[in-house]
Amino acid sequence: MFMRVDKLQAELPAPKKKDPNAGAALQELLGGKYGEMSTLGNYMFQSFNFRSKAKLRPFYELVASITAEELGHVELVSNGVAMLNNGPDNDGDESDGGDISGASNELMKDIRLAASFLSNGGGSAPINSNGASWNNDFVTTTGNVVMDLLHNFHLECGARLHKLRVYTTLSDPTGREVCGYLLVRGSVHAHAYALALKKITGVEIEKMLPTPNIDLSKIPECQKYLDEGSHRRLYTWSPSDYKQMSGIWGNGEMALPGDPPGELVVVDGMPEGGKIHQLTGVPSAFTPDYAPEEMFEIATKLTKKAR
Amino acid sequence: MFMRVDKLQAELPAPKKKDPNAGAALQELLGGKYGEMSTLGNYMFQSFNFRSKAKLRPFYELVASITAEELGHVELVSNGVAMLNNGPDNDGDESDGGDISGASNELMKDIRLAASFLSNGGGSAPINSNGASWNNDFVTTTGNVVMDLLHNFHLECGARLHKLRVYTTLSDPTGREVCGYLLVRGSVHAHAYALALKKITGVEIEKMLPTPNIDLSKIPECQKYLDEGSHRRLYTWSPSDYKQMSGIWGNGEMALPGDPPGELVVVDGMPEGGKIHQLTGVPSAFTPDYAPEEMFEIATKLTKKAR
Amino acid sequence: MFMRVDKLQAELPAPKKKDPNAGAALQELLGGKYGEMSTLGNYMFQSFNFRSKAKLRPFYELVASITAEELGHVELVSNGVAMLNNGPDNDGDESDGGDISGASNELMKDIRLAASFLSNGGGSAPINSNGASWNNDFVTTTGNVVMDLLHNFHLECGARLHKLRVYTTLSDPTGREVCGYLLVRGSVHAHAYALALKKITGVEIEKMLPTPNIDLSKIPECQKYLDEGSHRRLYTWSPSDYKQMSGIWGNGEMALPGDPPGELVVVDGMPEGGKIHQLTGVPSAFTPDYAPEEMFEIATKLTKKAR
Amino acid sequence: MFMRVDKLQAELPAPKKKDPNAGAALQELLGGKYGEMSTLGNYMFQSFNFRSKAKLRPFYELVASITAEELGHVELVSNGVAMLNNGPDNDGDESDGGDISGASNELMKDIRLAASFLSNGGGSAPINSNGASWNNDFVTTTGNVVMDLLHNFHLECGARLHKLRVYTTLSDPTGREVCGYLLVRGSVHAHAYALALKKITGVEIEKMLPTPNIDLSKIPECQKYLDEGSHRRLYTWSPSDYKQMSGIWGNGEMALPGDPPGELVVVDGMPEGGKIHQLTGVPSAFTPDYAPEEMFEIATKLTKKAR
Amino acid sequence: MFMRVDKLQAELPAPKKKDPNAGAALQELLGGKYGEMSTLGNYMFQSFNFRSKAKLRPFYELVASITAEELGHVELVSNGVAMLNNGPDNDGDESDGGDISGASNELMKDIRLAASFLSNGGGSAPINSNGASWNNDFVTTTGNVVMDLLHNFHLECGARLHKLRVYTTLSDPTGREVCGYLLVRGSVHAHAYALALKKITGVEIEKMLPTPNIDLSKIPECQKYLDEGSHRRLYTWSPSDYKQMSGIWGNGEMALPGDPPGELVVVDGMPEGGKIHQLTGVPSAFTPDYAPEEMFEIATKLTKKAR
Amino acid sequence: MFMRVDKLQAELPAPKKKDPNAGAALQELLGGKYGEMSTLGNYMFQSFNFRSKAKLRPFYELVASITAEELGHVELVSNGVAMLNNGPDNDGDESDGGDISGASNELMKDIRLAASFLSNGGGSAPINSNGASWNNDFVTTTGNVVMDLLHNFHLECGARLHKLRVYTTLSDPTGREVCGYLLVRGSVHAHAYALALKKITGVEIEKMLPTPNIDLSKIPECQKYLDEGSHRRLYTWSPSDYKQMSGIWGNGEMALPGDPPGELVVVDGMPEGGKIHQLTGVPSAFTPDYAPEEMFEIATKLTKKAR
Q: What is the pLDDT of residues E151-200, one digit of tens each?
A: 999 999 999 999 999 999 999 999 999 999 999 999 999 999 999 999 99
Per-residue confidence (pLDDT) for residue D91, from 0 to 100: 66
Per-residue confidence (pLDDT) for residue D92, from 0 to 100: 67
Tell me if there are at least 3 CB pairs under 8 Å linking chains E and C.
yes
Where would I find the H helices in E130-259?
A: 145-167, 173-201, 223-227
Q: Residue A162 belongs to what H/E stretch?
A: helix A145-167
Give the Cα separation of C219 and C183 in Å (integer): 9
Burial track F229-239 (b if 16+ CB lie within 10 A, e otherwise): ebbbbbbbbbe
- For chain A, say whether D169 makes contact (Cβ under 8 Å): yes
- Among C168, C174, C219, most E C-beta atoms within 10 A, so best to mutate, is C168
Tell me the average pLDDT across B279-288. Answer: 95
- For chain A, say whether D34 makes contact (Cβ under 8 Å): yes
Q: Is E265 helix (H, G, I), strand (E, B) or coil?
A: strand
- Among C164, C201, C214, most F C-beta atoms within 10 A, so best to mutate, is C201
Per-residue confidence (pLDDT) for residue A91, from 0 to 100: 66
Residue B307 reports pLDDT greater than 90: no
Count the alpha carbons within 13 Å of D5 in the hemisphere toward its beta carbon.
22
Residues of E in contact with C21 (CB under 8 A): 109-110, 114
Residues of B in contact with E129 (CB under 8 A): 114-115, 118-119
Burial track B283-295 (b if 16+ CB lie within 10 A, e otherwise): bbbbbbbbbbeeb
Residue B77 reports pLDDT greater than 70: yes
Contact E208 A203 (CB under 8 A): yes
Residues of D in contact with B150 (CB under 8 A): 153-154, 157, 208, 211
Q: Count the neighbouring beta carbons within 10 Å of the beta carbon of residue B227.
A: 10
The CA distances from residue D170 to A19, D35, D115, D175, in Å, are 20, 17, 21, 7
Q: Which residues of chain D fall short of a pLDDT of 50?
A: none
**Residue E117: which of C161, C165, C167 has the nearest Cβ?**
C165
Yes or no: say if D176 and D223 are a contact pair by the CB < 8 Å rule.
no
Give the Cα separation of E82 and E18 in Å (integer): 10
Residue C63 reports pLDDT greater than 90: yes
Q: How would residue C91 be classed by pLDDT, with cut points 50, 70 and 90?
A: low
CA distance A244 to chain F (A): 36
- Among E213, E218, E222, most B C-beta atoms within 10 A, so best to mutate, is E213
CA distance E37 to chain A (A): 14
Q: Is A122 left (phi over 0), alpha (psi -120 to 50) or beta?
A: left
The model's pLDDT over C185-198, given as tens digits with 9 standing for 90+, comes to 999 999 999 999 99
Per-residue confidence (pLDDT) for residue B256, from 0 to 100: 97
Contact C171 E118 (CB under 8 A): no
- For chain E, say whether A127 makes contact (Cβ under 8 Å): no
CA distance A17 to chain D (A): 19
- For chain F, say whether A162 makes contact (Cβ under 8 Å): yes
Yes or no: say if E65 and E152 are a contact pair by the CB < 8 Å rule.
no
Tell me the average pLDDT across C174-185. Answer: 98
Name every residue whose Cβ is closer than 8 Å to that of residue A107 and which is 6 or more positions away in sequence. none
Closest to E10 (Cα-Cα) out of E174, E237, E181: E181
CA distance B212 to chain A (A): 28
* Chain D residue whose CA is closest to A128: D130
3-state SS of A66-89 is: HHHHHHHHHHHHHHHHHHHHHCCC
Contact C245 D306 (CB under 8 A): yes
Contact B52 A278 (CB under 8 A): yes
Contact F112 D114 (CB under 8 A): yes
Per-residue confidence (pLDDT) for residue F92, from 0 to 100: 67
Residue F91 reports pLDDT greater than 70: no
Average pLDDT, chain B: 96
Per-residue confidence (pLDDT) for residue C94, from 0 to 100: 76
- For chain D, say whether B138 makes contact (Cβ under 8 Å): yes
Per-residue confidence (pLDDT) for residue D258, from 0 to 100: 96
Contact B121 A144 (CB under 8 A): yes
Across A29-135, the runs of DSSP E, i.e. the strands, are: none
Percent over 90 (pLDDT), chain F: 95
Strand B2-4 relative to strand A2-4: parallel, antiparallel, unpaired? antiparallel
Average pLDDT, chain F: 96
In this complex, the chains that touch D, judged by 3 or more CB pairs closer than 8 A, are: A, B, C, F
The tens place of each residue's pLDDT in chain A, 307 residues long, gives 999 999 999 999 999 999 999 999 999 999 999 999 999 999 999 999 999 999 999 999 999 999 999 999 999 999 999 999 999 976 667 777 789 999 999 999 999 999 999 999 999 999 999 999 999 999 999 999 999 999 999 999 999 999 999 999 999 999 999 999 999 999 999 999 999 999 999 999 999 999 999 999 999 999 999 999 999 999 999 999 999 999 999 989 999 999 999 999 999 999 999 999 999 999 999 999 999 999 999 999 999 988 6
Residue B271 reports pLDDT greater than 80: yes
Q: Count the neighbouring beta carbons within 10 Å of the beta carbon of residue E291.
A: 16
CA distance B80 to chain D (A): 24
The model's pLDDT over B23-57, given as tens digits with 9 standing for 90+, comes to 999 999 999 999 999 999 999 999 999 999 999 99
* Chain D residue whose CA is closest to B38: D137
In this complex, the chains that touch E, judged by 3 or more CB pairs closer than 8 A, are: A, B, C, F
Per-residue confidence (pLDDT) for residue E74, from 0 to 100: 98
Contact A94 B55 (CB under 8 A): yes
Within the 206-235 window of chain A, which residues sit less than 8 Å (CB to CB) from chain F? 212-214, 218-220
In this complex, the chains that touch A, judged by 3 or more CB pairs closer than 8 A, are: B, D, E, F
CB pairs under 8 A between A and B: 350
CA angle B250, B251, B256 (to 5 degrees): 50
Q: How would residue B91 be classed by pLDDT, with cut points 50, 70 and 90?
A: low
Percent over 70 (pLDDT), chain B: 99
Residue E91 reports pLDDT greater than 80: no
Residues of E in contact with B285 (CB under 8 A): 165, 168
Strand C233-235 relative to strand E2-4: parallel, antiparallel, unpaired? unpaired
Q: Count the neighbouring beta carbons within 10 Å of the beta carbon of residue A15.
A: 23
- For chain B, say whether C120 makes contact (Cβ under 8 Å): no
Contact A135 E137 (CB under 8 A): yes
Contact D120 C142 (CB under 8 A): yes
* Chain B residue whose CA is closest to A11: B1
Contact D161 A285 (CB under 8 A): no
Per-residue confidence (pLDDT) for residue C160, from 0 to 100: 98
Q: How would residue C132 be classed by pLDDT, with cut points 50, 70 and 90?
A: very high
**Residue C131: which of B25, B131, B169 has the nearest Cβ?**
B131
Per-residue confidence (pLDDT) for residue F205, from 0 to 100: 98
Contact B165 C115 (CB under 8 A): no
In this complex, the chains that touch F, judged by 3 or more CB pairs closer than 8 A, are: A, C, D, E
Longest dimension (CA), chain F: 68
The model's pLDDT over B221-253, given as tens digits with 9 standing for 90+, comes to 999 999 999 999 999 999 999 999 999 999 899
CA distance B143 to chain C (A): 28
Yes or no: say if B117 and E167 are a contact pair by the CB < 8 Å rule.
no
Residue C217 reports pLDDT greater than 70: yes
- For chain A, say whether E117 makes contact (Cβ under 8 Å): no
Give the Cα separation of A243 and A265 in Å (integer): 11
Name every residue whose Cβ is closer than 8 Å to that of residue C228 and which is 6 or more positions away in sequence. none
CA distance C221 to chain E (A): 9
Count the alpha carbons within 13 Å of E303 in the hemisphere toward its beta carbon.
16
Name every residue whose Cβ is closer than 8 Å to that of residue D261 and which is 6 or more positions away in sequence. D254, D255
Residues of D in contact with F167 (CB under 8 A): 100
Tell me if there are at least 3 CB pairs under 8 Å linking chains D and E.
no
In this complex, the chains that touch B, judged by 3 or more CB pairs closer than 8 A, are: A, C, D, E
Tell me the average pLDDT across B268-292. Answer: 95
Residue A266 has what DSSP assignment?
Answer: E
Tell me the average pLDDT across E119-127. Answer: 98
Residues of B in contact with D203 (CB under 8 A): 203-205, 207-208
- For chain C, say whether F133 makes contact (Cβ under 8 Å): no
Average pLDDT, chain C: 96
Per-residue confidence (pLDDT) for residue A180, from 0 to 100: 98
